[in-house]
Amino acid sequence: MSEQAPAVADTDGIERIAAGYRRFAEVEAATASPLYARLAIAVAEDEELLRFLSGLPTGKRQPNLLFAAVRYLHGTPAGPAELRGAVLEEPDRLRATVLARATQTNEAARCTALLPFLGLIEGPLALIEVGASAGLCLYPDRYSYDYDGRPVGPPSPVHLTCTTTGAVPVPAALPEVTARIGIDLDPLDPADDADRAWLQALIWPGSAAEERRARLDAAATIAAREPVRMLAGHLLDRLPEAVGLVSTGSSAVVFHTALLPYVPLAQRKAFVELVRELPVRWIAQEGPGALPEVEAQLPDADEARGRFVLSLDGRPVAWTAPHGGRIDWFAGGWETIGR
């Protein structure tokens, strides 16, 4: 598919794109990635770059995707001038990458929020991740952890640290995992160099980038050695089949993180109905608002900004850092949540 920039400028569309980039700079990137914030402001003020973006389909214009595609093809631009050059010198190549790829950030450190549940649900466990990307969150038992100085698991090349507040039920040991099943519209292969390079390009430049890049490499190496069973397709189509693959004697745990913003509301509702009918435990780690029934039970919605909500079977228990590494538990002890 190749879309050309419109011959006549769509002024409304261009204004909307510029506003989106400004918002991204001010709200999302300001602290996490000052470089991305600077680049986004520059895009918002550059008519030619905005015109390039307006020639892309609506779901393909966002800063995350544009900047990752530029970095995938040309490396990280030092500033707005390099970004401009990279976009305008080879627009067709860039357009092809943007159209072929999607924002599929895969962060193994999100396992720090899953582990407390996994350690307490009766095992052994069959893990099913919906929206698994390259499946790097399907190896929680292959990583080592440190919760406020409390170690969990033997040493691993993927070592995850986590700061906690509240009654987080940190397990004493790693769970036994009998199956790892991923579902994704467009799975990435952790053994494929191009897919790994794309995942690396999705990591925002900033103070956490180096650590995240090393973690991604180490987790992808583990995943490449011991591939998950990956079902390509829509979550509504593939989830029953995934659950059907779980052998008797294992508890099926369906989980997802950073998935629901990509799923239209009506499909989200259908997914919640489906997951509730299946014989599974259900862990969600998503932005506030992603699941209205979870949102309605939050203790203080004002605390939501910039955080994810961790829930079990539709019941919120904690705020978490979107890329892992922090849990602020607000529910009672494990007994109040139920095995």
Residue from 33, 62, 97, 106 in contact with ligand SAM (CB under 6 A): 106
Closest approach of ligand SAM to the CB of residue 252, in Å? 17
Q: Which is nearer to ligand SAM, 255 or 329 (CB)?
A: 255
Q: Which is nearer to ligand SAM, 102 or 118 (CB)?
A: 102
Taking CB positions, which residue lies at the least distance from ligand SAM?
Answer: 131
Give me the 137-176 binding string for ligand SAM, x by CB under 6 A, dash otherwise.
Answer: x---------------------------------------
The DSSP element (H or E) to which 337 belongs, if any, is none
Which residue's structure tokens are 């407390």? 116
Q: Is 184 in the site for ligand SAM (CB under 6 A)?
A: yes
Name which of 237 and 277 has its Cβ closer to ligand SAM: 237
Nearer to ligand SAM, 78 or 266 (CB): 266
Report the nearest approach of ligand SAM to the CB of residue 236 (Å): 7
Cβ-based nearer residue to ligand SAM, 132 or 327: 132
Residue 22 φ then ψ, to 5°? -65, -45
Least distance from C-beta 293 to ligand SAM, angstroms? 19
Query: Which residue number, 33 or 133, has a Cβ lying nearer to ligand SAM?
Result: 133
Any residues with CB less than 8 A from the CB of 280 and at least 6 apart, and which?
128, 243, 252, 253, 254
Q: Is 286 in the site for ligand SAM (CB under 6 A)?
A: no
> Of 113, 62, 112, whose CA–CA distance to 261 is shortest?
62
Q: Minimum distance from CB of 133 to ligand SAM (Å)?
A: 4
Give yes or no for a cis peptide into 124 (omega within 30° of 0): yes
Question: How far is it between the farthest Cα atoms of the chain?
Answer: 63
Q: How far is the CB of 257 from ligand SAM (least distance, A)?
A: 4
Residues in CB range of 277: below 8 A, 6 or more apart: none
* CA distances to 152, 223, 225 from 215, in Å: 18, 12, 16
Q: Is 203 in the site for ligand SAM (CB under 6 A)?
A: no
Which of 91-99, 104-112, 204-212, 330-338 is the region at the interface with ligand SAM (rule: CB under 6 A)? 104-112
Show the site string, 214-253: x = touches ligand SAM by CB under 6 A, - = not. --------------------xx------------------
Q: How far is the CB of 259 from ligand SAM (least distance, A)?
A: 5
Q: What are phi and psi of 231, to 5 degrees?
A: -105, 115
* DSSP-assigned beta bridge partners for residue 316: 311
Cβ atoms 128, 242 nearer than 8 A: yes
Binding-site member from 183, 283, 294, 310 for ligand SAM (CB under 6 A): 183
The residue among 114, 100, 56, 58 whose CA lies nearest residue 258 is 114
Helix (H) or strand (E) holding 219: helix 209-225
DSSP β-ladder status, 177-184 and 229-232: parallel
Rg (C-alpha) for the chain, rounded Å, is: 20
The token pair that represents 196 in the structure block: 């790994």
In the complex, the residues that contact ligand SAM under the rule CB under 6 A are 102-107, 110, 131-133, 137, 183-186, 234-235, 257-259, 262-263
